[in-house]
Amino acid sequence: MNCCNNKPIFESYDGNRLCKIHFNAYLEGKVFKTIRQFELLDKEENLGVAISGGKDSLTVLSILKRLSMQNPNIKICAIAIDEGIAGYRDRTLATAQEFCDKNNIRLHIFSYKEEFGLSLDEMLKILNVKPCTICGIFRRYLLNKKSKELKLTKLATGHNLDDECQSILMNQMRNDMKASARLGPKVGMVQDEKFVQRIKPLYLCAEKEVTTYAFLNRMLDSFNECPNAIHSYRAQVRDMLNVMEQKFLGTKYSIVNSFIQMLPMLKEKFSCGAIKVCSRCSEPCSKDICNACVYLERLKNKAVSSLIEPKPLNN
């Protein structure tokens, strides 16, 4: 059924054919409902939005910016991490900067090179590891550290329904339910000054919906994918899920919805009480030394004969 007499551009899961105006209202309404349903925001927030310059993060930033304009108690800024991936991140960061300038949003950019002494490309020449493993560890580390320095109350990310669905399955397939206990629309089991809670306002928005929103509203004009993504386990799980979704419509929603029902039990089972801190850098971690410090040590040992010297992490 068509929403109105305007030309439809999107067909929703329930068979409604939506024009641009009604599609925008549908997606924004879904995000606001997610924020209310999972109590993602308090009345006052100094909110950071982690952006990469891709469709998901620009969509979430754009919708949250609108929310902050309606509600002056919600202040927002954007944070981007420059991992140092030649030919990719420089382009997405330029898009991010342009978007922020146009929308009057302060953008803070932090780089691996400046913070750790090495870009991701350089790290990968030294260590024989999967790019996404090391990249994710250092990105999470920096985002939390810089969010605290900026005194952010929460950090919003552009994770969508497809991302969450992939993470749930990846954890199942690796028998890592402890990692699943850290998923959900609001990450951070307890309020703790060491850890800035992360929220996922696009939690119930499918990738297809977010892509449509971003391109329809001209947030970006081309699709860029990290050259390392193709080697990732996630990419294989993504492709498998897309095949299942095509055959059995609603598969991804079902996986995420059933996960939401299990999440309180997982959180209870794997709750670790007070957050531990790394004995070297004082960032939160589950062991004595955080993964960022472990990898930095490995980089240092391997790079000892090279001119490249990783920087030590300090408080």
For binding to ligand SF4 (CB under 6 A), which residues are involved?
A: 83, 131-132, 135-136, 226, 228-229, 232
Residues 292-311 contacting Zn ion, CB under 5 A: 293
- Per partner kind, with CB cut-offs from 5 to 8 A, the member of ligand SF4, Zn ion, none near residue 135 is ligand SF4
Give the nearest distance from C-beta 128 to ligand SF4 in angstroms: 15
19 binds, among Zn ion, ligand SF4, none (CB under 5 to 8 A by kind): Zn ion
Least distance between ligand SF4 and beta carbon 229 (Å): 4
Cβ distance 142 to 150 under 8 Å? no
- If binding is defined by CB under 5 A, does position 137 make contact with Zn ion? no
Contact call for residue 19 and Zn ion (CB under 5 A): yes
Options 107, 237, 290, 296; binder of Zn ion; rule CB under 5 A: 290
> By CB under 5 A, which span of 150-158, 179-187, 215-223, 277-285 interacts with Zn ion?
277-285
Instruction: By CB under 5 A, tell whether 145 contacts Zn ion.
Output: no
* Closer of 68 and 95 to ligand SF4 (Cβ): 95
Name the binder of 290 from ligand SF4, Zn ion, none, CB < 5-8 A by kind.
Zn ion
To Zn ion, the closest distance from the beta carbon of 34 in angstroms equals 22
Q: Give min distance, CB of 124 to ligand SF4, in A.
A: 9
Nearer to ligand SF4, 131 or 284 (CB): 131
- What does the alpha-carbon distance between residue 27 and residue 46 come to, in Å, rounded to a whole number? 24
| Range in contact with Zn ion (rule: CB under 5 A) among 20-28, 192-200, 236-244, 248-256 | 20-28
Q: Which residues of 109-146 are buried (b: 16+ CB within 10 A; e: fewer)?
A: bbbbbebbbbbbbbbbebbeeebbebbebbbbbbbbbb
Smaller CB separation from ligand SF4, 126 or 132: 132
Q: Which is nearer to ligand SF4, 10 or 138 (CB)?
A: 138
**Is the Cβ of residue 132 or residue 263 nearer to ligand SF4 in the bound state?**
132
Instruction: Tell me which residues touch Zn ion (CB under 5 A).
Output: 3-4, 6, 19, 22, 278, 280-281, 290, 293
